[in-house]
């Protein structure tokens, strides 16, 4: 006869085996190709006599994710021994703080970096003008434009005169220092900030704002061939072009910093948190609101990406533990799973590439964590809504042994919990037979016959 402990051990072994199979399957399916700082389409670094150039493309608003992408592009290009890195740019602008960090990266880079505003119709607006001027080589497509670098507040709100003066003064000084460092037209640069001046590609070339007009990437490489940059003579005319695409995290967090998405995150954060405060226990609104708030703070650069990731993981742990004590039928587990995944995705993003996590680890870790806390929550539900755990009522349903024949007329005795009990039944039971406890009546216990199936399971 199996004991309840045997059942629990068998159930535990099955759960552990299931978790192991799931993780093994995920590892075999996803493989290491989901490296957080790598892409399947990143060319392998091979020894070759042919010169190489790495190209990355930056589109949309400038934010923390773009900084990570450019930093990763510089690191990959340097590790390959490229002639230079080309940043294809098309942006309406972005965050000043992030722009300043990108400018620092470009000005401090020993690797020649070319910023190419392309295709026709593209713009290097606002923050894009700072980035273009900071490059070793600045180029534009014929029908592109650059400038309009006057700073504005988030959401376009009016700034008070003192704050506006400070920000304009800082921006003018920054762009002037960039232009001086790169030998470009600093009067135009200051006007781009102070007066919002903008120019077409051909005008920018005439005003010494940029170095080249290029119809396409190969035209740019042909024109830069033979230039001396950072004490090296560039050999780019016949260089092999390697493109580095944004990885999954960069695509996702780049999507988050889009203005319309940030507006949605703002609304979800406000209404979610207010909904939870006005109706405590709703769970889903509050969870969605807090996650949206953390993502929003990251998106506006009010919080570093690794700090946001740490807070999301802390939130996930809180939600997981809460599920065990206040069962919500999986709502908290789902919210915790989303928070844990996003947090793990962000936590190590700001570290060097070889220290970043990959989906190869993040996805199995997320699933394993959810299953672990689901297990805890399951037993928590059993503990709160299950049957009695103490007293005579806890013995109902237990299988016990008959020590003296039991019949409906005279009764008999059974033995359990170290005691003999007077037993009664509508059926006759022989000594040594296994019966099931049905109910108690004072010091009497009523039993019934155990079916063959129940006996096998027991």
User: What does the pLDDT read at residue 356?
Assistant: 59
Encoded tokens for 217: 């990437």
Mean pLDDT on 73-86: 93
Q: What is the pLDDT of residues 10-42, one digit of tens each?
A: 444 444 445 444 444 544 444 444 444 444 444
What domains appear along the chain, each with residue ranges and CATH number?
4-35+251-385 (no CATH), 52-247 (3.90.226.10), 394-457 (2.40.50.140)
Which is more confidently placed, 42 or 280?
A: 280
* Residues 112 and 232: beta-carbon distance below 8 Å: yes
Side-chain half-sphere of 105: how many Cα atoms within 13 Å? 23
Looking at residue 89, its pLDDT comes to 96
Question: At a CB cut-off of 8 Å and minimum separation 6, what does 353 contact?
Answer: 37, 38, 72, 75, 76
What distance, in Å, lies between the first and last C-alpha atoms of the chain? 6
**Per-residue pLDDT tens for 356-372?**
566 677 778 788 877 87
For residue 409, the model assigns a pLDDT of 62
40-44, 80-84, 343-347, 397-401: the lowest-pLDDT one: 40-44
Query: pLDDT band at residue 378, thresholds of 50, 70 and 90?
Result: low
195-205 pLDDT, tens digit each: 999 999 999 99
Q: Give the phi and the psi of residue 270 in degrees, each rounded to 5.
A: -65, -55
For residue 144, give Cα distances in angstroms to 24, 187, 204, 317, 336: 51, 21, 10, 49, 45
pLDDT at 37: 41
pTM over the 0.85 mark: no
């Amino acid at each position: 006869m199996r004991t309840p402990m045997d059942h629990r051990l068998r159930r535990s072994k099955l759960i552990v085996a299931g978790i192991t199979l799931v993780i093994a399957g995920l590892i075999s399916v996803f493989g290491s190709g989901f490296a957080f700082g790598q892409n399947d389409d990143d060319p392998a670094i091979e020894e070759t006599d042919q010169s190489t150039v790495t190209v990355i493309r930056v589109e949309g608003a400038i934010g923390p994710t773009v900084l990570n992408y450019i930093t990763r592009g510089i690191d990959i290009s340097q590790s390959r021994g490229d002639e230079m890195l080309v940043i294809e740019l098309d942006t309406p602008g972005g965050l000043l703080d992030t722009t300043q960090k990108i400018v620092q990266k470009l000005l401090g880079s020993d690797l020649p970096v070319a910023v190419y505003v392309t295709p026709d119709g593209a713009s290097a607006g606002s923050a894009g003008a700072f980035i273009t001027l900071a490059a070793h080589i600045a180029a534009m497509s014929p029908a592109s434009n650059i400038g309009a670098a006057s700073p504005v507040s988030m959401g376009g709100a009016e700034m008070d005169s003192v704050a506006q003066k400070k920000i304009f003064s800082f921006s003018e000084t920054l762009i002037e220092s960039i232009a001086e460092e790169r030998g470009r037209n600093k009067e135009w640069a200051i006007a781009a900030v102070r007066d919002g001046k903008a120019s077409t590609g051909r005008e920018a070339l005439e005003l010494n704002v940029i170095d080249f007009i290029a119809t396409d990437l190969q035209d740019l490489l042909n024109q830069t061939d033979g230039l001396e940059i950072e004490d090296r003579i560039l050999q780019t005319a016949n260089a092999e072009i390697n493109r580095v695409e944004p990885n999954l995290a960069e695509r996702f967090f780049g999507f988050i910093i889009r203005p319309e998405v940030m507006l949605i995150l703002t609304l979800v954060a406000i209404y979610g948190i207010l909904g939870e405060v006005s109706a405590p226990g709703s769970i889903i609104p509050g969870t969605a609101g807090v996650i949206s708030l953390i993502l929003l703070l990251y998106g506006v650069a009010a919080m570093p990406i690794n700090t946001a990731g740490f807070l999301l993981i802390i939130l996930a742990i809180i939600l997981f533990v809460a599920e065990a004590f206040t069962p919500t039928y999986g709502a908290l587990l789902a919210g915790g799973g989303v928070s844990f995944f996003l947090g793990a995705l962000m936590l190590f993003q700001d570290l060097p590439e070889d220290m970043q996590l990959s989906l190869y680890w993040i996805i199995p870790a997320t699933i394993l964590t959810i299953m672990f806390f689901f297990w805890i929550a399951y037993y928590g539900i059993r503990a709160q809504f299950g049957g009695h755990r103490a007293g005579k009522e806890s013995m109902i349903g237990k299988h016990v042994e008959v020590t003296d024949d039991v019949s409906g007329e005279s009764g008999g005795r059974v033995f359990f919990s170290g005691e003999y009990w007077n037993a009664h039944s509508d059926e006759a039971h022989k000594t040594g037979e296994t019966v099931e406890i049905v109910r108690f009546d004072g010091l009497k216990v009523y039993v019934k016959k155990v079916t063959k199936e129940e006996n096998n399971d027991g």
